[in-house]
Structure formats: structure tokens, C-alpha cells
Chain A
Amino acid sequence: MATLAAPACATAPASTQSGLWSWIATTDHKRIGTLYLWTALAFFLIGGLEAALIRTQLARPNMGFVSAETYNQLFTMHGTTMVFLAVMPLSAAFFNYLIPLQIGARDVAFPRLNAFSYWVYLLGGIFITLPILFQVAPDGGWFGYAPLTTNQFSSGPNIDFWVIGLQILGVSSLAAAFNFITTIINLRAPGMTLMRMPMFTWMSFVVQFLLILAFPPITVALVFLLMDRFFGTTFYAIAQGADPLLWQHLFWVFGHPEVYILILPAFGLVSEVLPTFSKKPLFGYNVMVYSGIMIGFLGFGVWAHHMFAVGMGAVADSIFSLMTMLIAIPTGVKIFNWIATMWAGEVRFTVPMKFAIALIAMFTIGGISGVMHSSPPADLQQTDSYFVVAHFHYVLFGGSIMGIFAGIYHYYPKITGRFLNERLGNVHFWLNFIGMNLTFFPMHFSGLLGMPRRIYTYDAGQGWDLFNLLATYGTYLLVIATAVFVWNFVRSRTRGAIAGGDPWGAATLEWSIPSPPPEYNFAQIPTVTSRYPLWDLKDPSWHEGEDSHGDTGTPGPSPLREETETHTAKALGIPMPYPTAKPAFAALGLVVMFSGLLFLRNDLFAVAMTVTLGGAAMLIGGLYAWLTSPLE
């Protein structure tokens, strides 16, 4: 098949900006996406390191590698880091980088708000991560159940960092979600109807709605906790008549949609990878869209399955059990459609393809153990045991992380203009795949043998020893695998093979422009007439005899005008947003404002007020300067 005449360039033609300040002041969605990618990978390494320490402590019975207190901080920060600082922002890196490219836009709807989201994330991430270096990290689990996390049971500053940190990170996620909703609705290129959008953009679209609806309940739950801790309210004070289930319900109203926030972007990524390397359109595109929407919608109706053990009564148990079984259907549909996409395709087993296939297999295992939990009597046996740990690591590591790695290998050439090394990639994949299964599969057994979660050590002779040792070895394999990946990731930036605009023979708009893309993305905004514009371009008859793929026909024969794409925005007369550090300044103000609360713990009321009001002044001043200055 003829390849598109794409220039083989490895550096952005219009990349005139460099230096630290250009990154702080950037409003380019691609640079912000790159910042998200690097930052989130750094947090992924920190979260992984915490996991390695946890597994070292659990390698053998009665180990004294870390203290019980440190262990609590480690598992809390492992979960918090992986969920809020690694997987969500890795997804956000792809939202930022890919959504405008996939819909044929020059940037997101609000470029400066986008920068603000990133800086709030970075500063919030640092805020919540630093305390572990001083042994005062949050220690109440990533779900922070109150009343455990109230002053009565957690009187130190540990939980303060968690409550305030999550509040800060919520601002980042919400701001980004409003931005992407607007971008996807309103910045699509001519002809890019909703039912022609690439599947990654579709799944991202669903996720943004989950974000704007799931974050308010946890914001409220955190405000209650914050007020209980700092201002003596009684939301979680059992002695005053408070209900111990209030936190759990509010948290899981957020927590279960959060699960889909973590997995749907990965689903989107593999839905881009599988058609590309099977040389076939995605099987059942419409059904994939509807099942994604269905998962998002039903995701708000299953939260209490996390709480079967608290005894909600037969009616509530039955409803949530039924809803949980129901949500497995659209998820199962996706699995079958991915398999059918590969069926009879010209499958190329590249590294991204291997990660995508691994997602299908591993997520299915995690999905099936998930359906086991949907039955309350079975759940009562499994809840709070290592079986549950095995389950959610199969969906989060086997699902989200595998999908994100598929995305990184797939899109690295687009982002950097160079391939990741395929041989190192294969080593990474196999070590990762074996390591993951060696770590988490034995946990099914230790869990069913009764090993509870969150214990810092255990006695010998309960049948758990072998499974724990295997899991620890598996974790060490994962550490090696990740080191190989990091080496590959860093080294390929300068030494990877040069990739053209469309190195994989993919079909969607982001591959029609050079790699890395110029700052304005598209010299001319394309007009789209089908779901697979680049395949149409290369071989107009490629899908004859198949269904129409949303193709409405009768497009004009106007090929891409590649020659213009190596000019600067200025030469082409395309207005670009000014670089500005005002969003970063406002983000700093927000974080300073929240951190003032920390001083209340030591009754430093004047200091707290000064810091909080100072931060608020920075935030308002930054916002004012930002809103009154022109965008471009």
C-alpha cells in the first residue's frame, strides 16, 4: 500500500521556543500534553517504588523492613499516587495531545485554562507527595474512610495533606473536563460529525462527563472532613449522632465512576491501536460508542457494591448487585468487538499491538473477578481480602496501564518524531506481562485463603507464604521492566529511528500532519468525510463492499496540502495564543491558599489567615490579569 507523502522530519519546523520559561508560559496543548506525560510518568515511578517497598515488607512472614506506621503511609500513597497522580494524568496527557489533533482543531477551547489545569496538578501532586519524605504522609488508605480519618483517630497532620491535596487535584480535573467537553463539542473540523470521531476522542468525551459529575460528591465529602478536622463540625462525629456510612456513600458515588475515568481512556487508546495494526476498521463502531456511553451512565448506579459488607439490606444489595451485573454487558461487548476487529485482519505484532492485546486478555480476567464481586454472598467472602487487590490490579494494571503503554508506544513517534526502540520495547512488554501476572495472580489465592488487605505483616503457616513471595518476585520483575522502559523512553528521544508523519499506516487525522506536529497542528483545517480519512486518501476503494463507516460520500478530490505544513504559524498568518505564565501564577496562588489551612493544626491562626488570604489574592490577581488580557 502506498504511503502518504509525509515529510520525514524529526523536529518541529516551527519549534522556535525553548528554555524553561517557554514551558512555564506555554499554552500549546501539545506542550502541555508533554508536560502531563513526563510529570505523570515521574509520579508513576514514585508510586511503583512505594509498591516495591510494600512488597518487600510482605515478601516473608514477620518481616521488619518497614514499621507499621510507614507501611500505612506507603499503601495509602501508593493508591493515591497511582490513581490521582499517575493514571488520571497519563490519560490527561493523551486528552491534551490527541483530542485537538483527532478532531482537526488547532488547540483546545480554552488554552490558558488548560495550562492552569496542568500547573494545579503539578503543584497539588508535589503537595501531597512531599510529606512521605518526612514520615508524615497520609495513612488512611486512598479511600480515606471517615471517621477513621477524623481528628479522633488521626490526630496528626498526615490526613490534612491528603484532604487538602485531593481538593487541589479536583480543581485541576474539573477545569480540564469543562475545557475538553467544550473542545470536543465545538472545535471539530468541518465534516467531523460525532459519529465520525475517533474512538479515543469518544471515550475521552464520556470520561469528561464522568469527571464533572463524580468530582463534586468527593469535593463535598472532603469539605465535610476538612471542616470536621479544622473547625470542629460534626459530620463524621459518631458520638454526636453522625452516620458512619455517610463518607463511604459519598466517596463511592465518586469512587465508582472514577474506576471508569481510569479505564475508558485506555479503552479508547487500544481502540486506535487495534484497527491500525489489524488494517481493519474498528468492528462495531456504533456499538462501541453506545457501550461507552452506557458504561458511563450505569457507572453512577453501582457505587454501593463497594459496601456490601456494611449490611445495607436485601433490597439495596439486590439493586446494586443487578446494576453491577448489567454494567458487565457493555464492557463485554467492547471485549468482543476488539477481538472481532483483529479477526481476519492483517495483524502486525508491534509493541503497541502487544500491549493492546494484553489489555484485552488481562482486563477480561479482572472483569470476570469483578463480576464475581457483584454477588453479595460471594463478595462477603472476598471483600477486604487480597482477592480484591488481585481484581482491581488486573483492571488497573492489566487494563489502564497496559492501554496507556500501548498508547505511549503508538503515539511516541507522533509526539517526538522518533520511534521507541522496538527491541527494548519487546523486552519491556514481556517483562511487564510476566511480572504483572506473577505479582497479581497469586493474590487471588492468598486472598481466598483469607489474607486481609492492608496488614503490614503476617504469621507463617497460614498458607500465604509462597503466594506472597511470588508476588514480591513479580514486583521486582516489574521494576526491571519499568527501568527498561524509562531507558528506552529517554534514549529514543535523541537516538530513536526517525518516524514520518504516519509511521504506522493509521487512519485518523493526527497522522495526516508531520511528526512532531507544527505548533498550529493543521496548516489548513481539514474537511472530513469518513471515519478513516487517511485510508480513504491512500486507497479510495479500500472499504468497498463493507458498510459505509459513516461515509456520506460525494467529497471533492482535494488532497492534503502537505507543502504548507513546514512553515511557521506567522508565515501562514495563523494567530496563535500568546505564551503566558498567568495561569501558572494563578495555580500557585490556589495551592498557597489551600496550604494555609495546614497551620490551623498548630493553632497558628494568624499565619493560616495570612497564607490563605495571600494565596487567594495571588489567585484572584492572576485570574484577573489572565481574563483581561487577550488570548492571541
Chain B
Amino acid sequence: MISLAMILLASLFFSGIVLRTKSLVSGRKGPGFLQPLKDVLRLLRKGTVFSETTSFIFQIASSIYFVSVLMAIMIVPFGLSKGLISFDGDFVFFAYVLALGKFFSIISAMDTGSSFEGMGASREALYSMLAEPAFFVLMGSFAMLTGHTSFHCIFTALHFSSHVSYALGVLATFVLIMVAMIENSRMPIDDPKTHLELTMVHEVMILDNSGFGLGLFTYAVNLKFAMYGAIIANFFIGDVPWYFAVLVFMAVQVLFAVIVGLLESFTARFRMAHNATFIFTLTSASLLIFFGVLLLMGKFI
């Protein structure tokens, strides 16, 4: 319960910090921290325009996408307290429920019959397919290290082991940040502020969404960022009292948001053709973690 509340809280200002960082870096003052949230609220109140090509898929897709992210968030624990949902192998459910949301966002883009949105859908499907093994191998490594197969148990057991696990945590953080950037279609993969449909991934998929549906899609991005932030935070919280844990959690979230802002300010987007290679490299990084764990446990021959 506490993790759900914390992640929801973090999601409120996450995009604001990213935007503010980017503004400051580029020498502008930038909007307030809560401006993205106000935009979402405005969208939720607005009327909706439907394309005549669309069917019921388009009408339910944004809700299902939103709920899939919400379900995934419920699984993420907070420090020593479990998430709302916790059982052995819950991270498999986590990944698959996110994939369900993605399935619907892809077919809702196909539903409009637009050539732009088909393009975005094709890219999204390919990139998320390539990112999948990285996450599973990463979790597999930690399952092996700790001997547990649920988020909560893995994170709890992780802190009781040696300091080397923190080192692995850093490498895992890199993989998770990159997975978060891919999942949210952010900088090295996709530029959310690009002006040309041909170079978009996520933004082009929701071109025909408006009003409430667009609001859900937009807010889901914030939620997803906060969710990955929470997972990363869990690597570093450790066995500490709750007030300290809350502080660490918030610090990690803010730091994550600043990193995202900096990444977006100082990196250029890859060529589309190079994205696939880059994403597959992440799997190698998680394999590196796997071998690291093997070494740690002395299971290497």
C-alpha cells in the first residue's frame, strides 16, 4: 500500500522535474513542477474526437494501457514493505501485464488506419520485443543471487548480502534506466519533442487520441517513470527505518528525473536503424550481470 502511495506521489512531480531540468540546462526558466500534471487534468476534462476509421478497440485501449501500468505499480514493493500484490514470480506478471498494455496501445494505433501511426506501432512493437529478454535475464540473475522469485523477497534478501551486491545494483540501475527510457520512448531511442512525425515512436502512436484518452496515455508515462524509479530505489533503500526509506526513495526519484532531463538535453537521438542494435546490447549488459552473479556465488567453473 505504502509503495503505491509513494509511486503515485512521485508520479505527480516527475515530469515536472524532467522539464525543469531541461529548461535550466538550455538556459530557460521553465514551467512549474506541477505544470505537466495540470496539463493532464485539463485533458481529462476535455471532449474527445474520434476518427471515423476507429472501432471499439480505440475506445478501450487507453484505459487498458493505463490499468496495465497501474497493475504493474501495485506489484512494486517499497523497501521492506510488500507491494499490494506479491507472490513468487510476480515480476513475470509485472512484465506481462505491461506487455498487455503495450499490445493494446499498438493495435489502437493500427485502428486509426493512419500511415504515421502504423509506423509508430511497428517501431514500438519491435523495440519492446527486443527489450523483453534484458529484463527477464536481469531478474533471473537476481533471483539466482538471492534464491527468491518475487520482487519483495529479492529486494529484501539483496540487502542482507555483501556490499558487492550494491555494485551489481549500479549495473542493474543502468539497465533499468535504459529499459525505462525504451518503455517510455525517451531520448536515445525516441525524442518526445521532435517536430516530425517520421521520427517519432510513442508520440506518433497517439496522434489521434484526444481528451480523456490522451490524458490517460500522458499520465501513464509519468506513472511508468515513477515505477521504474521505485524499482531502482529499492536497490538502494536497504534495511532502514521507514522515514529514512522515504527520504532515500524521494532522493532516488528526483535524481532519476534529473538524469532523464540531462540525458535528454545532452544526447542526440539514434538513427532508427541503430535503435534495434542498441536495445539488444542491453541484453548483453544483463548477461554481464548474470555472469557477475555467477562469479560472486562461486558457481563458475
Tell me, yes or no, whether A binds B: no
